[in-house]
Amino acid sequence: MKKIVLCLVALLMTSMVMSQPFKCNQVEKISVRPFDRGLNVGIDPVNFSGPGNANKVPDNMMSLLKIPMSSSLNANGIFVYEQRFVSIQQQANLFSYGNRAGGSFGNTGNDLKYKFTTDEGSTWDSVVLVAANGKNYRYPSMVVYNSGTTANPDEIYGVFAGPIYETSWTNQFFGSVRLDGSNEDVNFVANEPTVYLNHLHIGLYCSPDGHATVASFRLNGATGAYTYHGWEILNGSFNGEEHKFDWQVPLLKVQPALKEEGRIDASCLVWSPGGEIGYLFGTAVDSSEIYNPYGVEWPVIYKSTDHGLTWIKEPPFNFASIPLFRNYLYSTNSDTNLVIPRWYNKWASTSNQSTNGAAVDIHGNLHIFGLIRSTVSIHPDSLNYFATGETNRLFDVYMKPGGGWDAFYIDSLTTVNPPDPGTYGISWDHQTQMTRTADGSKVFCLWTDTDPAFSTENLTPDIKGCGYNAVTGMATPVKNFTAQTEYWLENWWMRVADEVFYDEITGSSKLPVTTSTLASTSDDPMDHSYFTGLAINDSEFSILVNTPEISDPGNRRPEFSICPNPFKGTTTVNVELETPANMVIHITNITGQEVMTINKGMVGKGSHKIRIDAGRLLPGVYCCTVTVGGISVTSKMVAL
């Protein structure tokens, strides 16, 4: 009945909106960071057909199911966006949700709980870490780690980190526990006396070979009088003999030279599929004109190639040189040939976003997904106003395999954020997030948005998403997973794991997503649900976004042959590797559409034979791409 009423309301509001002319000169106050005033030159109607949003499709035929499985004592248990608490292990088909537990599913609100399932939510198990000695766990990141290739969840480890609150923010905690409850290891390190906030929960990650990394953003001083002091990094490595991680204390400091007293927003920490390459970044105004010639918020990026032991600042890049931005963003007032992208930050306006999505693809290249606006003026006036435009454009900005950066337009948001203070005094945003396949060949963008027929604010969100194939350069149309389904308009606090479940038989990437209930106040308990049925199939990668550039590292290129070719029935791909590496085979038709993926994971040095079943292929010409360690080689194959 509720959905019928909503449909009638939507039709009525749509007719009312269509009967009025669009006001293209709307004005909205947006500030220079960190002030609360500014000028927005207007919000255009959503009329672009970008490569990611052509033929938008509501995916109403899927079997969607929300499964309640955990709870928090209040909204403060989950609202920090840098936390990572949804995690999977493909070998065990294990989905895990970790949080500071309380409310209807039990626990005190100070404890940590892993809730996990290996049968898509039919049955659940849990392990709880009880807070002791007044050290109350707060804002944790909680992921899972498989020390081998076990399918037994009891042999998988939970890894966690976060801040401790006593009468103030006194400590950081970090450690691990086996999901059978054994080998619990909790460590504490006291904050230095000058620290105001230093929450150790940004982007917690465990690589397949047992390296763990988590970051914090350090503030010194006191409430209302603090200064920014960059990031701190904690590294650990798994000790198989003692069944725990060895952590490297004191924490490593990374402090970029920035304007605005060193402030960084929307910090992210992400790693390549094998954990060899990591990126730590946030949006900020770099103090160097070489890195930021226009003095606006751009990504400030550090890279590690040694599991987080050292971090090197990425070379400067002029993001204004990306041609695609000219199609979607306004030029500056002073130079109609100059288009300057400006990343959103959570402080400049309540309509902004609190974080960016991020992922690292099969080539080891960083993708940054989120809202970008135009820079109409780069010269704030005496009142510190600036002029900026378009508050609703979503882009994936990514490193190219051959060097440099590029971007593609994904979608336009149709609503703005709820006001702050909102329902909870904490305004949730559009939850722009990214995830990827285990090998990084495909990355996925997810976000929430509300049908504008119901609200101009994102009060009743649906879940939307799309995918990009980093090997073929193909993207999927934007999908609205929940519109006109049982879960229409009720998908708050959406989160996604940093990796998807991939089904090789069906060629489907299953997106591990959670949502949370909307309680009456910020002091009321919130229930959390595992949202199953959200998926993107390989056949949906149908839009050519770009032509992939493949770097040539000489003798590291994989050598392979296909025999027989042409073939009928079956054929074999023969691959020679000089060193162990992750290997994946993609088969695409002549239009670039992927028809088969074979993910072999980490394989050893030497000869490898991979059987291809032609029974799954129609007669015709195909491209077979073998990707090893991020390096791809393609050859033609013919199925008879």
Tell me the CATH number at 563.
2.60.40.1930
More confident residue, 149 or 406: 406
Domain final position from 255, 274, 309:
255
Strands (E), 3-107: 39-40, 57-58, 65-72, 86-89, 94-102
**Burial class of 305 by CB neighbour count within 10 A (0 to 12, 13 to 18, 19+):** middle
Residue 534 lies in a domain: yes
Average the pLDDT over each of 188-192, 334-338, 500-504, 557-561 and give the range with the smallest value: 557-561
Structure confidence by residue, pLDDT tens digits, 430-465: 889 999 999 999 999 999 999 999 988 888 999 999
The pLDDT tens digits of the residues spanning 580-598 come to: 677 888 888 876 777 888 8
The percentage of the chain sitting over the pLDDT mark of 70, rounded to a whole number, equals 82
Same domain as 190, residue 171: yes
**Binning pLDDT at 50, 70 and 90, where does residue 62 land?**
low
* Residues 307, 385 within the same domain: yes
Which strand (E) or helix (H) includes residue 492?
Answer: strand 492-496
Q: What is the pLDDT of residue 6?
A: 55
Tokens of 578: 């000089």
The pLDDT-based confidence of 166 (bands split at 50, 70, 90) is: confident
Q: According to the model, what pLDDT value does residue 87 have? A: 97
Q: Is 6 exposed, middle or buried (0-12, 13-18, 19+ CB in 10 A)?
A: middle
Bond before 564 cis per omega within 30 degrees: yes
For residue 232, the SS3 value is: strand
Cα separation, 523 vs 526, in Å, equals 9
Task: Give the pLDDT confidence of 65-78 residue by residue, as tens digits.
Answer: 999 999 998 877 66
203 lies in some domain:
yes
Predicted local confidence at residue 11, as pLDDT: 47
Shared domain for 510 and 615, answered yes or no, is: no
Number of folded domains that form the chain:
3
pLDDT surpassing 60 at residue 407? yes
Residues 542 and 567 in one domain: no
CA dihedral 584→585→587→592, nearest 10 degrees, is: 50
Q: Give the per-residue pLDDT at 549.
A: 52
Query: 100 pLDDT band (50/70/90 cuts)?
Result: very high
The CA-atom distances, in angstroms, between 86 and each of 61, 312, 353, 513 are 25, 29, 20, 8
In DSSP notation, 20-47 reads S---TT--B--PSTT-S--EE-----S-
Q: Please report the pLDDT score of residue 158 as a whole number.
A: 98
pLDDT at 636: 85
Note the pLDDT of residue 623.
85
Cβ–Cβ contacts within 10 Å for residue 357, how many?
25
Please check the confidence at residue 386 and state whether its pLDDT lies above 60: no
Q: Give the residue from 557, 561, 627, 639 showing the smallest Cα distance to 599.
A: 627
pLDDT for 47 equals 31
Lowest mean pLDDT among 38-47, 218-227, 290-299, 529-538: 38-47
Answer for the pair 496, 431: CB distance below 8 angstroms, yes or no.
Answer: no
Structural domain contains residue 18: no
Q: Categorize the per-residue pLDDT at 341 as very low, low, confident or very high, splitting at 50, 70 and 90.
A: very high
What's the burial of 455, exposed, middle or buried (CB within 10 Å: 0-12/13-18/19+)? middle
Query: Does residue 313 sit in the same domain as residue 216?
Result: no
Q: Is residue 352 part of a domain?
A: yes
565 and 509 in one domain? Answer: no
Give the mean pLDDT of 208-234.
Answer: 89
9 with 15: CB under 8 angstroms? no
Domain boundary among 549, 576, 593: 549
Q: How far apart are CA 485 and CA 491, in angstroms?
A: 12
Q: Sorting pLDDT into bands at 50, 70 and 90, what band is 16?
A: very low
How high is the pLDDT of residue 531? 98
Is residue 390 within 8 A of residue 373, CB to CB? The reply is yes
Q: What is the 3-state secondary structure (H, E, C) of 582-638?
A: EEEEEEEECCCCEEEEEEEEEECCEEEEEEEEHHHCCCEEEEEEEEECCEEEEEEEE
Cα dihedral 385, 387, 393, 399, rounded to 10, equals: -80
pLDDT at residue 12 in the model: 46
Percentage of the chain with pLDDT > 90? 50
Residue 595 domain boundaries:
554-639
Residue 568 and residue 494 share a domain: no
Mean pLDDT in residue range 313-334: 92
Among 255, 288, 309, give the residue marking a domain's end: 255
Q: Is the dihedral of CA 103, 107, 108, 112 positive or negative?
A: negative
Q: Is 19 part of a structural domain of the chain?
A: no
In a domain, 521, yes or no: yes
273 and 388 inside one domain: yes
Tell me the average pLDDT across 92-102. Answer: 95
Question: What pLDDT, in 10s, does the model give residues 48-59?
Answer: 334 444 334 444
In a domain, 527, yes or no: yes
Least Cα distance to 71 among 130, 124, 128, 113 occurs for 113
Residue 408 lies in a domain: yes
Task: Give the mean model confidence (pLDDT) for residues 321-326.
Answer: 94
- Over residues 373-385, the mean pLDDT reads 66
What is the DSSP-derived secondary structure letter of residue 520?
A: S
Please give the pLDDT value at position 631: 75
Mean pLDDT for 279-299 is 92
Q: What is the mean pLDDT of residues 169-183?
A: 95
User: Where residue 262 falls among pLDDT bands split at 50, 70, 90?
Assistant: confident
Claim to verify: residue 90 and residue 151 sit in the same structural domain: yes
Please check whether residues 495 and 545 belong to one and the same domain.
yes
* Banded model confidence at residue 316, pLDDT cuts 50, 70, 90: very high
What is the residue-averaged pLDDT of the chain? 83
Least confident residue range of 20-24, 36-40, 441-445, 574-578: 36-40
- Judge if 272 and 396 occupy the same domain: yes
pLDDT at residue 133 tops 70? yes
197 shares a domain with 169: yes
CA-derived radius of gyration, the chain: 24
Confidence band, pLDDT 50/70/90 cuts, at residue 423:
low
pTM of the predicted model, to two decimals?
0.80
